[in-house]
């Protein structure tokens, strides 16, 4: 009988398959179901930021210039102030009825704050006592150049205007030597803005305290409306 030789201890018989070769390797799916593919797309952020910065500065500059132009060119009402109130004559009679006679000369200051000439139609000056109108005077129109000042004279003459409702108060003011008169000066006109004609109006109200005994002005307070 042929003799079988055993391999030395610790050595593997080359004719026998190994344990790794005996069990085939597991199958590896190159695209497993639970895997995800991430696609990275390079974005040029710096270039976009540069483009946005280049557009931002001109846009802001244009908006600022438009706002400045609208502020400067937007029409404003003329500024009216009482430059002078010269009292020529004032008298109050109690019989047969309480009546007032006033003669005064006013100088109205008109300032045009716009960049276009002001063509005003007329100047109205009214006078009253404790809210009750006594009379009105109207002067002619004129022209105030752009960013300029003009003065208009108005002569107020009221002869024997009867005061019925506030007669008692008028007699008390006459005894104190200070009669308050309300004056309102109003200017209406147009600003010629290129091909447009824009109506504007300026008004000022004053309270003038007059001493009828010495024909002087005690106090006056004016405020624009």
Tens-level pLDDT at each residue, the chain (225 residues) = 555 555 555 555 555 555 444 555 554 555 555 555 555 555 554 555 455 556 677 777 777 766 665 555 677 889 998 888 888 888 888 888 888 898 988 899 999 988 888 999 889 999 999 888 899 998 888 999 988 999 999 898 889 888 877 888 888 888 888 999 999 999 999 887 777 788 889 999 999 998 888 888 888 899 887
The CA distance from 184 to 224, in Å, is 10
Is residue 61 assigned to a domain? no
pLDDT at 52: 53
SS3 assignment, position 34: coil
The CA distance from 15 to 87, in Å, is 142
Is residue 51 assigned to a domain? no
Is residue 97 assigned to a domain? yes
Number of domains in the chain: 1
pLDDT at 76: 82
The domain that holds 142 is classified in CATH as 2.60.40.10
The CA distance from 187 to 109, in Å, is 10
Is residue 186 assigned to a domain? yes
Cα dihedral 176, 179, 180, 185 in deg (nearest 10): -160
Residue 177 backbone zone (phi > 0: left; psi -120 to 50: alpha; other: beta): left
The CA distance from 220 to 90, in Å, is 16
pLDDT at 73: 62
SS3 assignment, position 84: strand
Is residue 45 assigned to a domain? no
Is residue 71 assigned to a domain? no
Q: What is the pTM of this model?
A: 0.65
pLDDT at 20: 47
Contact indicator for 170, 113 with CB cutoff of 8 Å: no
pLDDT at 127: 92
Cβ partners under 8 Å of residue 89, min gap 6: 101, 102, 103, 215
Is residue 162 assigned to a domain? yes
The CA distance from 23 to 29, in Å, is 18
The CA distance from 188 to 152, in Å, is 13
Joined together, the tokens standing for residue 90 give: 């004032």
pLDDT at 87: 83
Residue 56 backbone zone (phi > 0: left; psi -120 to 50: alpha; other: beta): alpha
Is residue 73 assigned to a domain? no
Neighbours of 175 (CB within 10 A): 8
- Note down the domain range covering 142: 79-224
Joined together, the tokens standing for residue 121 give: 């139609």
């Amino acid at each position: 009988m042929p003799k079988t030789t055993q391999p030395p201890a610790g050595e593997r018989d080359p004719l026998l398959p190994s344990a790794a070769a005996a069990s085939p390797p597991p199958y590896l799916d190159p695209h497993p179901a639970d895997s995800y593919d991430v696609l990275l797309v390079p974005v040029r952020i710096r270039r976009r930021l540069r483009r946005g910065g280049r557009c931002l500065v001109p846009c802001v500059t244009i908006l600022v210039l438009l706002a400045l132009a609208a502020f400067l060119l937007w029409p404003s009402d003329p500024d009216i102030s009482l430059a002078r109130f010269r009292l020529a004559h004032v008298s109050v009679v109690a019989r047969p009825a309480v009546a007032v006679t006033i003669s005064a000369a006013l100088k109205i200051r008109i300032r045009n704050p716009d960049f276009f000439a002001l063509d005003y139609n007329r100047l109205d000056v009214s006078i009253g006592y404790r809210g009750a109108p006594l009379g009105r005077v109207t002067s002619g129109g004129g022209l105030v150049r752009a960013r300029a000042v003009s003065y208009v004279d108005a002569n107020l003459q009221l002869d024997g205007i009867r005061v019925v409702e506030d007669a008692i108060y008028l007699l008390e003011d006459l005894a104190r030597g200070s009669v308050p008169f309300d004056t309102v000066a109003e200017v209406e006109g147009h600003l010629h803005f290129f091909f447009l004609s824009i109506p504007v109006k300026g008004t000022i109200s004053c309270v003038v305290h007059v001493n009828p005994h010495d024909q002087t002005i005690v106090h006056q307070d004016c405020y624009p409306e």
